[in-house]
Structure 1
Amino acid sequence: MNTVYSTTVTAVGGRNGTARSDDGLLDLRLAVPNGLGGKGGATNPEQLFGAGYAACFGNAVIHVTRNKENKIRDDDVEVVATVGMSPNGAGGFGLSVKLDVTIAGVDQASAEAIVADAHKACPYSNAVRDNIDVALSVNTR
């Protein structure tokens, strides 16, 4: 595979540590969330995954319409990612994701077709397919 981009992030201390990218643009504290019995007060891996997936999926929506008559612009798409964590029955945990996608300027049928195409194109969707339950909700405005 021809890699078009890569980055390196180092995490130290697990869920109660830090994460820093090699270019220093990402540099933050991590904490176990209150909902998992932690003290909270800092971001956590599920929030970071949700942010990455939402942003990437939004860009996939834009990407799949680039060569179409009704192009979706940056401000025309909003993606809200809800990431859940549940016991997997084997002593570990699994994730689930719900993506609520809102697209402006198109009808419902077009929005649903665009989101279906974006789900095929998005690197996050491709990475988690058949491994994480992903529910898609599509709205227009």
Structure 2
Amino acid sequence: MTATTLFTGTATAKGGRHGHSATSDGSVSVDLGMPKNGVLEPGKTTPEHLFATGYAACFGSAVEAVGGQKKLDVSDASVTVAASLQKSDSGFSLAVKLTLKAPALSKEQAQEVIEAAHQMCPYSKATRGNIPVELAVE
């Protein structure tokens, strides 16, 4: 099976977690920082925020696709991704908690949608087996 590239987003970072990152087309340009005592300097963001934003948007599209396939109302659904930087004896890693809020669905329907979307979403496919991803329904 041959894959067809639909879009490529390109970004360059300089200065690591205390530097700057921007996309080649200028659509994203951010100063990066590392929170101190849980507080991030105003006007800065983290790689975890950027990852969470992308994952939430991508997963939201998967929720919409699954809703359409299953003829379920996901029009008011929202996806929240909490991406955590973790440190252990073996080094740094990421963990994700993915929460689906779908007011028009029962808890069972929302659970069915989140699980199916997790199989479909490209971010979920990329992270599967690499980082812990917790699924939750609100």
TM-score w.r.t. the length of structure 1 is 0.87
Shift of 1:35: 3.8
Q: What's 1:109 paired with?
A: 108
**C-alpha deviations, 1:43-95, integer Å up to 9, x for none?**
0101111111111111110011223322422xx111121122222432x2011
Q: Which runs of 4+ in 1 moved over 4 A?
A: none
Q: Tell me, in whole angstroms, the C-alpha distance in 1 between the residues paired with 2:129 and 2:102.
A: 26
Shift of 1:39: 6.4
Q: Tell me, in whole angstroms, the C-alpha distance in 1 between the residues paired with 2:34 and 2:114.
A: 33
Equivalent residues in 2 for 1:118-137, closer than 5 Å: 118-137=117-136
Verify: 1:18 aligned to 2:20, yes or no: yes
Shift of 1:135: 0.5
Q: What's 1:40 paired with?
A: 41
Q: Which amino acid aligns with 2:74?
A: I
Equivalent residues in 2 for 1:47-66, closer than 5 Å: 47-66=49-68
Q: Tell me, in whole angstroms, the C-alpha distance in 2 between the residues paired with 1:24 and 1:87.
A: 32
Identity, % of aligned positions: 37
TM-score w.r.t. the length of structure 2 is 0.89
Q: Tell me, in whole angstroms, the C-alpha distance in 2 between the residues paired with 1:22 and 1:50.
A: 20
Please give the secondary structure, in 1, of the residue aligned with 2:100: strand
Please give the secondary structure, in 2, of the residue aligned with 1:98: strand
Q: Tell me, in whole angstroms, the C-alpha distance in 2 between the residues paired with 1:83 and 1:39.
A: 15
Q: How many residues align?
A: 135
